[in-house]
Amino acid sequence: MENIKFSKCDLEASQISLGCMRIAELNIQDISKLVNTALDEGINFFDHADIYGGGQSESKFSQSIEMNPGLREKMILQSKCGIREHSFDFSKEHILDSVDGSLKRLKTDYLDILLLHRPDALVEPEQVAEALCVLKENGKVKYFGVSNQNPMQIELLNKFVKQPIIINQLQLSITNTGMIDSGINVNMEIDSGINRDGSILDYCRLKEITIQPWSPFQYGFMEGSFLNNSKYEELNKTIDIIAASRNETNITIAIAWLLRHPAQMQPIIGTTNVTRVRESCRASGIKLTRKEWYDIYLAAGNKLP
């Protein structure tokens, strides 16, 4: 497993992260097998959120591995806060309470990274700044980031927040390429030329913010996997040909497609299947050719101007 270096911090993270959204559905033994498989494959980065499984994902994670200081130091733990039932909440009080809850459930004294989970329309950046300062000064959180935010939302935070924003977690897969499409179809009067996110891909590259693609195997808004799906026959045919030529699986190639982008992204795999974890990890170190990358992009139904 190759590592990536986040800007403005000292963390050396695995190129691929394990997302823990679905582990609340598993028993403790299966979670232990999943996490230990990830560790064995070189994954040291684990992505959580306070809302995953109503907090059970964090609790069962720490229980399954019998969290202790020695093991904790081998991991990079990231969690997120800000989503509440029927609302979003970036108030100082909620951020601080959410972090305390995550720390208790994860059985740790600190988070390596805290993300603000989706934008809050009622955000008061001054309150966010106060909360992050408290968390940093108390040693409860080392570094900070956001998820699903556009450039101006990040700029608004940056006006008040002292700590650098090092991560933006965004939906991106072979079949969800809006942030790539608009950059290819500049000045074109077609749907794929519509800039819906303020050029977030280029912005993050300019600001050295690491993009974490979530749902890397999903189409639509988590409607299912595009792999082996009859809705995407041409795409799967192309992926399978490339996979066979490299003696790899389609899962490996789907992750390698994301890693080929020069933005040096860190995909978050949310699978609970240990075989898929292993196959995803094999993508680290594989560099698709430019032709292979574009062949996959076009097979997904995209067009070049």
Concerning whether 294 is annotated as a catalytic residue, the answer is no
Give dist(CA 238, CA 242) in Å, integer: 6
| Helix, strand counts (H, E) of the chain | 12, 12
Locus of tokens 């409607």: 223
Q: Decide the pairing of beta strands 12-14 and 17-19.
A: unpaired
Residue 239's nearest CA partner among 221, 222, 226, 223 is: 226
Which residues have CB under 8 Å from 80's CB, separation 6+?
A: 47, 48, 49, 50, 51, 114, 115, 116, 117, 147, 169
CA distance linking residue 246 with residue 207, whole number of Å: 35
Tell me the one-letter amino acid at 169: Q
The residues assigned a catalytic role are 52
